[in-house]
Structure formats: C-alpha cells, structure tokens
Structure 1
C-alpha cells in the first residue's frame, strides 16, 4: 500500500506540472482504483484545516460545532464517492469504461495537489494581503484546480477538451449539490 501511495503522489505531482506521464506511475487497475481512495485519508487533515479557517471568520452556532462538523464530514465522504460513481455511465457512454479505473486513480491523487494549493492559499490569506492580491491568488488557485482536473481527464481517458470540460462541470455541479446538502445538515 505504501508503494501505491508513493506512486500516486509522484504521479499527481507530475500531472500537476502538466506532464501526462504521471499516469504511468499510478496503479490504474480496478484494485488500484479502490486503493487510491487512500488519498481521501491523506487530504482529510487539509480539509479539516480549511474548515477551521472558514469557521474562524464566522460566528459560532449556539449549539457548537459538532453538528456542522458531522455535516462537513458527511459531505466530504459523499464528495469522494459520488463523482467517481456518477461519472462511470458518462465515461462508459463515450466507450471508455475500461479506462474508468485509471481515471478514478488519477482523480483521487490529483485531489492531493488541489488541497495543497488550497492550504497554501489559506496560509497566505491569513497574512492579510491586499484585497486585490487575495482575489487574484484565489482566482489563480481555482483556475489551477479546474485546469488540473481537465488536464487529468483528457490524459487519463484520451478524450477531447470538450468532454473533459463536461466532466469538470459535472464535478462542480455535484460539489454544489453536496454543499447545499451539507448546509441543510448543519442547520444553516
């Protein structure tokens, strides 16, 4: 398992630099796809850290943070699982079902890169840069995260840019759905 994690992280680092050969390092079998969900455990501290940063600027709910934390963790789990499942029929419809494990592996591991840049941004924002710089950096991080998912989808599935864009939009739509679900669960 340690070797699969190392290979996944190295592959994600290469993908994050726009190098499709990062896929060759990853274990892209169906069993590897299942093991790649270890990325969720690796990203959990970053996810919790980002939630703490967000909550630090908000008024605490009268009942405390237990319910919002449980809601966020529920959304976190759904976020990791739903997209992988929902995109399967889409990918199969394109005649790429055999590449779905490879896509899932790469999608899981690039999430580590996306969380790293989000944490870096959060730390910079804590320093209180001028608003225009904060907005520019935020836009750059969002743009990089979207590009990375798009690039990975094209490379992992061998699909057009339009289809890769469709997968990114699907992921964003599911993310918005889950965010609404989390808000309702947390009592907000």
Structure 2
C-alpha cells in the first residue's frame, strides 16, 4: 500500500521512476484495488456535494445504490476493458503493472479532485469553482495518460487509448446511473 501510494505520488509529479513501485504481477494488481476502498469516502463526499442530475425526480436511495454499483463497475470495468487493449499492443505481460499504477494514481486523483471541489461545496463563486474543477479534470486525465505510458512503455497516442476507454466507460456508467436514479 505505502509503495503504491509513493509510486503514484511520483507519477503524479511527472516522474516516470514512480512506475518502479509497481511490479507486473497479479498480486500487485489485486492489492491495488484497495485504492478503491480508500477513494470511497471521497466519492461519497463528492456525491453529497454535487447530487446526481434529475432534481426532484431522483429517489435519493435509488440514486445512491446506482452510484455505488457504478463506482464498483468503473474500477473493475477499466481493468477488464484494458486487458484486450494491452494484448492488442503486445503488452499483456505489463497489464498487472498498468492496473496497479492506474488504481493508485486514481487514489491521488480523488484526493486532488476532492480538494479542488471543496471551494464549490463551500459556496465559492461559480467561475472560480468551475476553473478549479476544470484544472482538476485536466490534471486527472494527464495523470492517467502518464501512468499508462510509463506502465506499458508505449507512445503517448497509445496511452491516450487507455484514457479514452476509461472516459468512455465513465460516461456510459454516468448515463446509466442517471437513468436508474430517475426510475
């Protein structure tokens, strides 16, 4: 755990040496899903601060359950969706390293996004909060891209494919969650 966080913090600072904290083993990949547990309180805080769209028509309990299911599906879904992509790139042996790095980088992303969302939750004017949110989102996407590039030792364009898979999955799950929450 400590090794994963330390590696992710190095990657978050643009230091490719952080990838050395992640072994290309299934044990490292499995253990890295602990990051999802650490991110859950931040996820719930963000959800409380920014309720799901739909307004009065949303059943709060149904929305929460849908969000929690989507949360789990997002973490597991990326791992599953990225496997054939790593195989297509001839990097199957590096897939466990990608998953370990991706999961721990997600932990850093949640910390950053949570910190940058606090001003909006505290009522800071929209333009400042919007700018912080945009900066956080851009940084999160960059971190994913950098982690994929370092973990798989691929070009920037190929690393972008992994980011696209994750973003596509997130958009799909967000839409599905909104539909479920509305009943």
TM over 0.5: yes
Cα deviations across residues 91-120 of structure 1 (Å, max 9, x unaligned)?
111100000000000000001111011111
Q: Which moved more, 1:163-172 or 1:96-105?
A: 163-172
SS of equivalent to 2:175 = helix
Label 1:156 to 1:141 Cα distance change in 2 as closer, same or farther (>3 A).
same
1:82 has 2:100 as partner: no
Cα deviations across residues 70-104 of structure 1 (Å, max 9, x unaligned)?
10000000000011111111111110000000000
SS of equivalent to 1:21 = helix
SS of equivalent to 2:111 = helix
Q: 1:165 aligns with which of 148, 157, 160?
A: 160
1:33 has 2:21 as partner: no
Q: Which moved more, 1:172-181 or 1:93-102?
A: 172-181
Q: 2:112 aligns with which of 117, 127, 130?
A: 117
8 Å CA contact retained: 1:42, 1:112: yes
Q: How far apart, CA to CA, are the structure 2 residues paired with 1:26 and 1:47?
A: 24
TM-score in terms of structure 1 length:
0.90
Following superposition, the deviation at residue 61 of structure 1 comes to: 4.9
Counterpart residue number, 2:176? 181
Q: How far apart, CA to CA, are the structure 1 residues paired with 2:47 and 2:12?
A: 24
Aligned length: 183
Counterpart residue number, 1:48? 44
Counterpart residue number, 1:106? 101
8 Å CA contact retained: 2:113, 2:136: yes
TM-score in terms of structure 2 length:
0.93
Q: How far apart, CA to CA, are the structure 2 residues paired with 1:51 and 1:121?
A: 14
Runs of at least 5 residues in structure 2 that lack an aligned partner in the other structure:
none
Label 1:62 to 1:182 Cα distance change in 2 as closer, same or farther (>3 A).
closer
